[in-house]
Each structure stands twice: as C-alpha cells, then as structure tokens.
Amino acid sequence: MPDRLVLDYDAMLAPRLGRGIEPADIAALATRFSDIHEAVQHRYNAGDLAFLDLPAGGEVVEQIRTFAEGMGQAFDTIVVLGIGGSALGTIALRQALLRTGWNEAEAEAREFFPRLFVLDNVDPTTIAPLLDRLDLARTLFNVVSKSGSTAETLAQFLIVQQRLRAALGDEGWRGHFLFTTDPSSGPLRAIAEQDGIASLPVPPGVGGRFSVLSAVGLLPAALVGIDIDALLAGAAAMVQRCASAALHENPAGMFAALQYHAHERAGAPIHVMMPYTDRLAGVADWFRQLWAESLGKRVDTSGAVVHRGPTPVVALGATDQHSQVQLYMEGPFDKTITFLTVRSLPADLVIPHAFPDLDALAFLGGHSLGGLLEAERAATRSALTRAGRMNMTIQLPDIGAHSIGQLLMLLQLATVYAGGFYDVDPLDQPGVELGKRLTYGLLGRPGYEAPDDPAPDSRHVST
Amino acid sequence: MPDRLVLDYDAMLAPRLGRGIEPADIAALATRFSDIHEAVQHRYNAGDLAFLDLPAGGEVVEQIRTFAEGMGQAFDTIVVLGIGGSALGTIALRQALLRTGWNEAEAEAREFFPRLFVLDNVDPTTIAPLLDRLDLARTLFNVVSKSGSTAETLAQFLIVQQRLRAALGDEGWRGHFLFTTDPSSGPLRAIAEQDGIASLPVPPGVGGRFSVLSAVGLLPAALVGIDIDALLAGAAAMVQRCASAALHENPAGMFAALQYHAHERAGAPIHVMMPYTDRLAGVADWFRQLWAESLGKRVDTSGAVVHRGPTPVVALGATDQHSQVQLYMEGPFDKTITFLTVRSLPADLVIPHAFPDLDALAFLGGHSLGGLLEAERAATRSALTRAGRMNMTIQLPDIGAHSIGQLLMLLQLATVYAGGFYDVDPLDQPGVELGKRLTYGLLGRPGYEAPDDPAPDSRHVST
C-alpha cells in the first residue's frame, strides 16, 4: 500500500509554541467539526460536492484514456487555453509530476510524450511569441471553461481558430481542438455540436476550482503520461481517510479547524503555504485560489454582512528565506505557515568537497542539495517555532501521482470544511460578477453598461 | 525626453472611496514626510544609501560594458547562481525587457544574444536537468553573493565547478566564472584572487535587496542586450524627481505615506501589487522582497519591541481575477491594491470576428488582447473602488528600460521612506540569522549547534 501523507501540527499549539492554540480549543473545535462533517455530508447528498465522486473515475476517465492513447498520440504539443480553475490544477500537476524543463527537453527525454503549455492570461506579449513558434499541424488546443463563456478563454480561442483555419483549411482546424466544458450548455458546447469538435464534460456539481480531478486536469495529465489512476487512487484514499467525523482522525478537518482558529481567535488572517521544493510551487498557487475564492465572502450563510476570509500567500523554500522569512520571524503575529515537504526527492546532486581552507565552503562538501534543502526547512521550522510563530508541516511520502492525489484532495476537503467553520458558502464567487459586467460594458457588449466613473481628482495624481 | 511614470492614488482617498484616507490625513503625512526626507538625506550622506549613487554609472558600468562587448560574446548561455537579492532583480529585468520565451527562442530571434537562466533555489530536481542540457563550453556562470558566503549559492558553485573541471580541465574552468561580490572580503573574493577568476564589485553600502542597478543586475542585463544606459537614466530621473521634500511632488514618498497610513490607521496590513501584464510579474516579486524584508522588524529605531511590518502580496491581472479578486472584493477591508499598468504594450494581437450568433464571442471581435487586458484592469479598478477597497495605479509609459528604471527606483526610494514612517531600519535583516545558524548546525559546520528540538507530540501528528 502506498504511504500516507502526514500532517504535523504540533507547532500550531501552545504547549510547543508558548502561545497559539490551546489543547482545550481543539476539544471545542472537534465538537463543532462533527456538526460540520455532517453538514458536508448533507451537501454531498444534495449533489453540491460532486468533486468527491471524481476519484471513482468512471466513463469519462475511460474516454480520456481512449483519447490520450489514440488520437492524442498525433500531437507533439498540447496547449491548454483556460484561466483560473481551468488552468491552475493542470499547472500544479505539470510542475509536480513532470521533470523540470519538460517543454525544452528533447522528445526522448520526454519519453515521446508531448510538450504541455498552459495559456492562463490574455497578455499578447506572452501569447504572440508562443503561437509563432508552435508547429500548428502537430498541436492540440484544449479549450477549458466550465461555463463555456469565459471572455479570456474565448478570446484566445478566436485567435487560435483563425490561425488554424489559415494553416490547415476550413475543415482541418476542427481536429486540433478539444473542448472541456459543461455537458449540455454554454457557447463552447454549442460550437462543439455545431462544428463537430471533440469534447469532454465538466460534471454538473463540480465547480471550477474543484475540477482538477475531472477532465479539466486529467486530460492534459493523461496526454503527457501522468499516471491518472494513481492520482485518483491517492485522492480516493484521502476521501476514505476523511470519512471520519472525529477531528483528530481527519487531517483535512484538522487543517481547516486550526487555520480557522488561528485566524478568528489567534489573530492570524494570513495563511502562508511554503513548499520546500520547486515541484510543489504550482500546488501552492492552486491552493491559493481554492482558499481565497472559497472563503473570502461578504455574507455568511444566514445572509448577514460579515466581510470574512483569510488571505492565502505562497512562499517557496529555500528561496523565500531570502525574501519573506525576515517578516515571518520578526513581523506581526498575523500569520500561519504551512510547510510542504517530501520525504525523498526524485533526483539529487552531491555537493563535492573543495576549498578545504574556506570554512564557508568546506562544510558543504559531501552533503546533497536535497539534504541542504531539508536542513534549511528543518532550521526554518525550528527558528519560527522558537520565535512563537504558528506553523504546521504536510509531509508527502514522495512526489508521485498517488501522493499528489492525496494532497489535492486533502486541501479541497479542508476548504469545504473551512467554509463550515467560517460559516460561509465555499462554492460560490459572487464578488467577481461586477468586474465581468464592467469589462463587457467597456468592450461594448450589448446589454452591459460601461462604468461612468468620474476622472480621478487631478490633485491626487502625480504626473 | 522620455515620458514619466504616473502615480494615481485617487482611489486611496475618502472623497472618491467613501472610506479610507482623508485629505486631512495627507496634510499630516506631508509634515512628517519632510522630516523623513531630511533623515534619509542624512543617512545618504553617511554612506548607507549608496544605491542612490548607482544611476550615475561610473567605472563599474564601463567594466560591465567592456566585458559584455568583449569576453561576454564568447558565451551563448548565461547562468546566474544567486538567491534573494542576488536573483530577484535580474529575474525582474529579464521578464520585463526580454521577449517572452527568450530562452527557448532561436539565436536569431534573440539577435544572437545569449540565453539567461537564474538558479535561485537549491532544488536538485530543477538544477540537475538544467545542468544536463547546458553546453558547458559555451556557458558563463555569474556567481552573485554580496557577502560571498551564501550557502545556497556556494553549494551551486561547488557543483558547477566540479562539472566544469571535468569538462574543461584544471585550467579551463576558470574562464567560465564571473563573480559579483564584495570588493575586498568574503570567500568568493578569496577564490577570485587565488584562482584568478574575473569579478565585479557590489559597492559597499549597497545592500542585497537594493543592488539591482549595481553589477548584480547590470552585468546579466548587459550580456543579453538590455539598454543599461536607459535603465540607469530612468532611475536617475526618478532620484531627481524625488529630490523634493514636498509629499505631493514626490511619488515615492506618496506611495510610502499612503501604504503606511492605510496599514497603521486604516486597517490594511496587506499590500497587494497587481501588474496587468506578465512582463511586470517579476518586478512585483522583486518588490515583495524589498517591502517585506525592509519593513518586517521586531524593534523600532529606539529599540522598543514592536513586531511591525506590512505583508506584500503579488497578484497578476487578468489571471488572478479568477483566483484572488473574489477575496479582494468581498473579504475584510485589510488590503491595499496597487495596479501596475502600461500605456502601450510592445506587442498585440487582434481578436477576429467569428461566431456572430453567439453573444459571448461576437462582442470580442475587433478588440485586441491588449485592449481586453486594459478593459479588465479598468473594470477591476472600478469594481474595487465601488466596493470601497483602497487602490492605486502606477502607470508606465511603456515597457522599456527607461520606464523600468523609473519604476525600480520609485519602489526602492518608497521602501526607504516607508522605513521612516514605520520607524524601523529598512536596511537590516536580523531575523534571518537564527535560521542560517541552525542550518549550519544541522549540516555539521564547526562552531554551530544543531537545534535540539523535542520530537513533536505524537498526539499532534496525523499519520
């Protein structure tokens, strides 16, 4: 049986830290958690939490496998057009599970799997050079939007479609698209049906930021050779592990309870996630969306105006020891730090012995870079703990698909539980609508008004 | 004369926002600023703020130019070994001023300038694949450490030196290194002298996070063809502009004053920097170090324990509208948002007209991606302002070296002024020492003790 992820929260607690959360608080959180666990079960029964069903795989996973092993073989480059929840999960999987420099490596080093690009912004200075160097005849564009109406993604689609038509003709372009979108509604679904574009569904009840284990993340993952069965099995193991309503047995519940309590009762609204390997930086970025968009809410579940929500922050070890750790050590006690670490990295390099007369170099000889990274993590944890800074550690057995599956599901479940503790709906995002409507208005979309903001007071502009 | 950058802070203020900072507060801040401006001048006179002299160029800039135009031509790849302040400025310059995908582009698209990699971590899973695909005979390694004793950088150096010796022999390796370090002390300086390695100085009085316009950032910039004269001229123009002690004439002072007041008097300790172009994401990361490490301090200038400091956060538009903006719109009123925008981008793409029957696509036709990005920024600014969220906008004339020079100097000066408002020393970083010492101890460096932390209480570990 593959190893399990470990959550060590000793340094969140007062016995270890000299401040922070008291063991008696945990007892109160545990009582509350059993109610939250039950409420989540009800919401699952109502069909709102369909992401919990994704690890079971099923027909769509078969379709994905069939495509990846069949038509997918025709392409040497995959480009995902998507933004937010349609991009962050795929970026996290790519960074964690493919070797660094994948897209620059020769085909043989990629075992002849395709390159994988994700276009997650509409910056022309990024998109133009990328499109210019693609061999369109060998490229598949996976257009990902649950609603099928995301302006950024449709703008990318229109530009790419024009280029493909010009290069491959009025028929040939169609085989270079695959849409991942709602099974029955939205503009992308309409185009798929009208133009006969291949498509995969995002299941109803799976929100964008909870979609990494649907076709949204699994199709690109399968195309580049990631073991999606192991990914799903890891996620399924975490769902199973979190079946318990007992807080001390449920790591996602404990993560949520402690972050919530640290925020609302111990003055720490800033939640830092700090992986100690480049490989997990994408997971931290993905979590940043999950935590911010799910918990940052104007109203609670009773409709009262509360303006609630923690602010997630991503830091990277060891790099950010030279950027953010000064603040974490000495600044306000307004943060929790969650280290992500790996029992063993998939590659290492030994530091040679040299310059024996120079102390600053001599002691490094014989250690490995992985050993240096791990020593820095342990030292930073120790220093932060001595400074009374709440921190916890999530340790993965390795950077394999099963471990990543466990981690992704842990954090998704923790987000839903945190919605319970914060008493907000973790599944909606009403605050982004106004900006969308104003964008439509500025671009002249019929039925939408442009903002008629007054010009800035010229006394408040330095020119 | 090149255009100046514009700071628009109208939406920080109560007349526009309905809450936030009152005009009367600005008057009080202006009074305080004139004292701070004078104190900064004193500190400059004492030699502590030598980064303000860097725009004047001088002998080192000549050396850089000579190297870049001479020996530097022999290399088709530059790899910077450095971390924190030795890496972030170079990454910011690369991302802003080179075309996206520079390292993957053919030599002709790079106008035959070299590739530029920055190794800013010690993760072997990143470093091993990169070293494996370099042509060492055509690669220059620029080892950057002001102290010359940074463990991460020296570990990278030892690994690279061994590879170069193996590939190029006991003599040949030396010509593939250039050290940027203290002019007279430290282990890298000792090796440079002992082994005859080319070197450039980091001037005394220039701290790591204020070193981007020294040889630290200028050498790699010059090697890849960035116009370092324009960069320095832009910075010099900003120094000149900030010679005024009148707050409303000094954009760096105004930036610092408003961020400080928003934090300490208006409840916003979280300072988001949100560029609306991928090109400026590196500048925001660089600023994140500057702001956090300079202002996050345990003691004030009188030695009183204060645990002070704002938390900088980087967001990227339009991407993070789909990740963080829900929280910024609806969550607590604990943030300021600073948009970075550009009057015109160096490249654009037109969105074609297509699918006239589908509203969600039809309205996009005829706009450009740059226009979409700008509409999204304007809409997000408008939405945040309507929601009463303090925000300001820094607009650059373009993404050229002169504009970037202005921006980098604006933010460095703002950081020093903010040190005055927060009443902390912006130039030190005592909080990182404990972690360094514990790392040394864990790795067995003589004279350092490993942490003897007790094992975590097993009741507080989920396994």
pLDDT 10s digits, B429-444: 999 999 999 999 999 9
pLDDT one-digit tens code per residue, B73-91: 899 999 999 999 999 999 9
pLDDT over 90 at B178, yes or no:
yes
Which residue in B8, B241, B253 sits closest to A460, CA to CA? B8
Closest to A330 (Cβ–Cβ): which among B7, B378, B431? Answer: B431
Give the model's confidence band at B311: pLDDT under 50 very low, under 70 low, under 90 confident, else very high.
very high
CB interface of A with B, residues 64-83, below 8 Å? 83
- Region A283-305: mean pLDDT is 98
The answer to whether A298 faces chain B, any CB pair under 8 Å, is: yes
Tell me which chain B residues have a C-beta less than 8 angstroms from the C-beta of A354. Answer: 158, 161-162
Catalytic (active site) residue B293? yes
**Kind and range of the H or E element at A377?**
helix A369-386
Query: Considering only CB atoms, which chain B residues are within 8 Å of A7?
Result: 461-462
- A347/chain B closest Cα distance in angstroms: 5
Predicted confidence at residue A211, as pLDDT, reads 98
Using the Cβ of B438 and the Cβ atoms of chain A, whether some distance falls under 8 Å is answered with: yes
- Cα torsion at B274, B325, B361, A187 (round to 10°)? 140
Three-class SS of residue A306? strand
Q: Region A413-435: what's the mean pLDDT? A: 97
Give the span between the Cα atoms of A128 and B361, in whole angstroms: 20
Predicted pLDDT at A1: 60
- Annotated catalytic residue within A108, A322, A433, A460: A322
Average pLDDT taken over every residue of chain B? 96
Assess A344–B contact: CB distance below 8 Å, yes or no: no
Distance of residue B66 Cα from the nearest chain A Cα, in angstroms:
30
Give the whole-angstrom CA distance, residue B101 versus residue B334.
36
CB contact under 8 A, A363 and B298: no
pTM of the predicted structure, to 2 decimals? 0.98
d(CA A248, CA A7): 11
Mean pLDDT across A47-67: 96
Give the span between the Cα atoms of A215 and A199, in whole angstroms.
10
B106 catalytic residue (yes or no): no
- Quick check: A99 and B371 CB within 8 A? no
* Three-state DSSP string of chain B: CCCCCEEECHHHEHHHHCCCECHHHHHHHHHHHHHHHHHHHHHHHCCCCHHHHHHHCCHHHHHHHHHHHCHHHHCCEEEEECCHHHCHHHHHHHHHHCCCCHHHCCCCCCCCCCEEEEECCCCHHHHHHHHHHCCHHHEEEEEECCCCCCHHHHHHHHHHHHHHHHHHHHHHHHHHEEEEECCCCCHHHHHHHHHCCEEEECCCCCCHHHCCCCHHHHHHHHHCCCCHHHHHHHHHHHHHHCCCCCHHHCHHHHHHHHHHHHHHCCCCCEEEEEECCHHHHHHHHHHHHHHHHHHCEEECCCCCEEEECCEEEECCCCHHHHCCHHHHHHCCCCEEEEEEEECCCCCCCECCCCCCCCHHHHCCCCCEHHHHHHHHHHHHHHHHHHCCCCEEEEEECCCCHHHHHHHHHHHHHHHHHHHHHHCCCCCCCHHHHHHHHHHHHHCCCCCCCCCCCCCCCHHHEEC
- DSSP code at position A21: B
Q: Measured between beta carbons, which residues in chain B are less than 8 angstroms from residue A313?
A: 311, 313
Residue B209: pLDDT band with limits 50, 70, 90: very high
**Is B297 marked active-site?**
no
- Residue B463: pLDDT band (50, 70, 90) is confident
- Closest-CA residue to A155 (of A120, A181, A186): A120
Within the 345-374 window of chain A, which residues sit less than 8 Å (CB to CB) from chain B?
A: 345-352, 354-355, 358-361, 363-365, 367-373
pLDDT mean over A172-191: 97
Put simply, whether B441 touches A (Cβ < 8 Å) is yes
Chain A, 25 to 64: residues with Cβ < 8 Å from chain B are none
- Report whether A208 contacts A150 (CB < 8 A): no
Per-residue pLDDT tens over the stretch A305-344: 999 999 999 999 999 999 999 999 999 999 999 999 999 8
Residues 259-288 of B with CB under 8 A from A: 269-270, 277-279, 288
Q: ipTM score of the complex? A: 0.98
CB contact under 8 A, A431 and B385: no
Rounded mean pLDDT, A91-113: 94
* Percent of residues, chain A, with pLDDT higher than 90: 96
Q: What is the mean pLDDT of residues A333-356?
A: 96
- pLDDT tens, residue by residue, A374-408: 999 999 999 999 999 999 999 999 999 999 999 99
CA angle A164, A170, A174 (to 5 degrees): 60
Helix (H, G, I), strand (E, B) or coil at A181: strand
Mark which residues 136-155 of B lie under 8 Å from A by CB: 148-152, 154-155
**pLDDT beyond 80 at B1:** no
C-alpha distance from A68 to closest chain B C-alpha (Å): 26
Q: What is the pLDDT of residues B318-350, one digit of tens each?
A: 999 999 999 999 999 999 999 999 998 999 999
Q: Point out the catalytic residue in the list A263, A293, A335, A402.
A: A293
Amino acid B201: pLDDT: 97
Mind listing the domains of chain B with CATH numbers? 6-46+231-428 (3.40.50.10490), 50-226 (3.40.50.10490), 433-460 (no CATH)
